């Protein structure tokens, strides 16, 4: 008996899937476990296996086509079996036609009246009768349309960091279309089909909401205006075509010329126009990888002076590493100024000239808020103002941990940090106190029996929280290796959405910055977050004597809707006992 296979939900945020490749054709025999197709989701390209034996009788979409979750993907059954009744819409239509053929007379008169009305309407509206209204077009199901994907679980909009393809360029499957700045990182967006780039939904630096029109890829002659009109009518927003770039640029140049004609600003424009004439190698839009941009910003390198060796002159990490400035940027000095300086200050001729800024008025700089900062502001404000926080602080004797860490690192393949010891102890303590490992869901509280610990990692743009999954089941060396890998991926902007989703508890450690103690804001939907301070050597009393001791302070921020004071205190007592006797958490 034939059985339908629907498009599965392969991730928690997936709403549709793209057929990246079919591995079986209609008529091919299929066995349970055979690879049917590769499905591209909002997170990754995943393989879909058949769960029954038979013959592939129907495919719901061809390669490159999109299907919504729970749409008909394929039908597997016996060879020659009739599947018309299982195909959505087709079976019903056929049945309808048969019923009309059996009883033609009762339907004849209404049909003629309907045709008469249609003729009258066509006479009134001759121009629009043959054209489908733009508002009736579902662009999400068109193969040529590329919508702004949801690249993270908290993403609501993306900023076009750069376009790697221009309108009119040929595009192949796997080519990088654009770099999208999300609330978590700057990520490369690849094309999933071949064709020409016919339309760009926004210019570099502009925002596009998730599921809004990002680009159109198709064959020459495709009706772009029809799709754009449908997108506008669907979203209610006016999107400016990229074809207006030149007009906008001319307007901007006109504004600069007006500014340049008014006194002091004119001098500023002239000053900045001298040095780049000899050194500029990139004009207009600059193509560079996210890592190259970050390295250039850290080293203070202006990308317009760097020659790219990648595709189409794209600047890569190696270009930044190998960059050597040819001429230092200095303001040109006229011959008269040189002679005047030589005659008035001969004693200072050999001394280097250092420009010392003098401030005679208030000076500041305003920078646009990045997508990551917006997400941090939104999520933490929601947490702070919706979750009633309370805080519990405890001092922990770390002498035993200091001694144990030295011995562990003698045999561990990965260097174990104090943060790794804290993470392992927290994971063990959470198994004993599941209420702390919970989430507030409005009408219910979710008590998590798995332990996924988020580790806050500072990056230049803000903060990321990659997740160590099932931390209670991992060894210290496994935890240490995983945390180091996540930290490096975060700094290189290589973290994927799956890396930062699904935490049940969070740790934020500022001890390496010399912070003794602090309070942290809960990372929703977690119920608690642990703020870890540094280890300080202070006098302590042991066995009636004052001796030097290693003490670390931790502060637990709790959501009072889920965790009460006694519950949080009991968790901290368990954590304290594990860190003061670290052998207990190895059992």
> Beta strand pairing status for 72-77 and 54-59?
antiparallel
CA distances from 490 to 11, 291, 318, 351, 419 (A): 22, 11, 19, 45, 17
Of the candidates 94, 138, 170, 564, the residue annotated as catalytic is 564
- 274 catalytically annotated: no
Closest CA to 52 of 20, 24, 16: 24
- Rounded Cα gap, residues 294 and 342, in angstroms: 43
- 28 catalytically annotated: no
Closest CA to 370 of 481, 473, 469, 294: 294
Q: List, in sequence order, every residue forming a beta bridge with 467; answer none if it has no partner.
A: 454
- Rounded Cα gap, residues 125 and 129, in angstroms: 6
Closest CA to 202 of 192, 188, 212, 194: 212
Residues 326/343, Cβ–Cβ less than 8 Å: no
- Rounded Cα gap, residues 436 and 165, in angstroms: 49
CA distances from 402 to 172, 213, 397, 587 (A): 55, 56, 10, 19
The answer, yes or no, to whether the previous bond of 525 is cis (omega within 30 of 0) is: yes
Q: List, in sequence order, every residue forming a beta bridge with 439; answer none if it has no partner.
A: 446, 526
> Where does residue 517 rank: exposed (0-12), middle (13-18), buried (19+ CB within 10 A)?
middle
Residues 204/284, Cβ–Cβ less than 8 Å: no
- Rounded Cα gap, residues 427 and 453, in angstroms: 7
Tokens, residue 102? 């059996």
CB atoms within 10 A of CB 497: 22
Query: What single-letter DSSP state applies at residue 475?
Result: -
- Rounded Cα gap, residues 569 and 562, in angstroms: 14
> Where does residue 480 rank: exposed (0-12), middle (13-18), buried (19+ CB within 10 A)?
buried
- DSSP string covering 103-162, please? SHHHHHHHHHHHHHHHHHHHHH-TTTTTS--GGG--GGG-TTEEE----STT--EEEEEE
Q: What are phi and psi of 573, to 5 degrees?
A: -65, -40
Which residues carry out catalysis?
560, 564
């Amino acid at each position: 008996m034939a059985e339908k296979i629907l498009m599965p939900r392969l991730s928690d945020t997936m709403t549709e899937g793209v057929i990246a490749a079919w591995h079986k054709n209609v008529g091919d025999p299929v066995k349970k476990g055979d690879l049917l197709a590769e499905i591209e989701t909002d997170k990754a390209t995943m393989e879909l296996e058949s769960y029954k034996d038979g013959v592939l009788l129907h495919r719901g979409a061809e390669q490159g086509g999109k299907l919504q979750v729970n749409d008909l993907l394929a039908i597997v059954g016996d060879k020659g079996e009739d599947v018309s009744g299982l195909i959505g819409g087709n079976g019903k239509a056929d049945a309808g036609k048969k019923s009309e053929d059996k009883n033609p007379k009762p339907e004849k008169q209404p049909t003629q009246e309907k045709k008469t009305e249609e003729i009258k309407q066509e006479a009134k509206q001759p121009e629009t009768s043959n054209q489908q209204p733009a508002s009736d077009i579902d662009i999400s199901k068109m193969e040529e349309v590329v919508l702004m994907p949801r690249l993270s679980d908290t993403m609501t909009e993306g900023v076009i960091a750069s376009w790697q393809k221009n309108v009119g360029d040929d595009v192949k499957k796997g080519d990088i279309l654009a770099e999208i700045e999300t609330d978590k990182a700057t990520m490369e967006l690849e094309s999933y089909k071949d064709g020409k780039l016919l339309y760009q939904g926004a210019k570099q630096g502009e925002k596009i909401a998730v599921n809004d029109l990002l680009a159109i890829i198709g064959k020459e002659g495709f009706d772009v205006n029809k799709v754009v009109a449908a997108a506008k009518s669907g979203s209610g927003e006016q999107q400016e075509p990229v074809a207006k770039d030149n007009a906008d640029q001319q307007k901007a140049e006109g504004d600069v010329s007006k500014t340049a004609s008014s006194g002091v600003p004119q001098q500023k424009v002239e000053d900045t126009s001298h040095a780049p004439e000899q050194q500029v190698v990139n004009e207009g839009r600059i193509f560079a990888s996210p890592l190259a941009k970050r390295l250039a910003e850290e080293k203070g390198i202006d990308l317009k002076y760097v020659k790219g060796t990648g595709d189409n002159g794209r600047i890569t990490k190696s270009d930044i590493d190998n960059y050597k400035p040819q001429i230092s940027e200095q303001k040109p000095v006229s011959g008269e100024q040189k002679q005047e300086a030589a005659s008035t200050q001969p004693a200072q001729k050999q001394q280097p000239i250092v420009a010392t800024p003098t401030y005679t008025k208030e000076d500041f700089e305003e920078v646009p808020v990045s997508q990551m900062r917006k997400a941090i502001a939104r999520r933490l404000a929601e947490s702070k103002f919706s979750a009633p926080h309370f805080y519990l602080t405890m001092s922990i004797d770390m002498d035993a941990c200091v001694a144990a860490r030295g011995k562990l690192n003698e045999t561990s393949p990965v260097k174990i940090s104090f943060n790794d010891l804290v993470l392992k102890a927290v994971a063990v303590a959470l198994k004993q106190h599941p209420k702390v490992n919970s989430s507030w869901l409005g009408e219910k509280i979710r008590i998590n029996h798995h332990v996924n610990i988020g580790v806050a990692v500072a990056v230049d743009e803000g903060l990321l929280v990659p997740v160590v999954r099932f931390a209670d089941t991992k060894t210290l060396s496994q935890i240490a290796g995983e945390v180091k890998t996540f930290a490096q991926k975060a700094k290189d902007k290589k973290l994927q959405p799956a890396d930062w989703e699904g935490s049940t508890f969070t740790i934020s450690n500022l001890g390496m910055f010399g912070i003794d103690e602090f309070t942290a804001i809960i990372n929703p939907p977690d119920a608690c977050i642990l703020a870890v301070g540094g280890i300080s050597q202070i006098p302590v009393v042991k066995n009636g004597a004052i001796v030097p001791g290693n003490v670390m302070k931790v502060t637990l921020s709790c959501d009072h809707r889920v965790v009460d004071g006694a519950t949080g205190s009991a968790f901290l007592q368990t954590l304290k006992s594990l860190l003061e006797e670290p052998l207990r958490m190895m059992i």
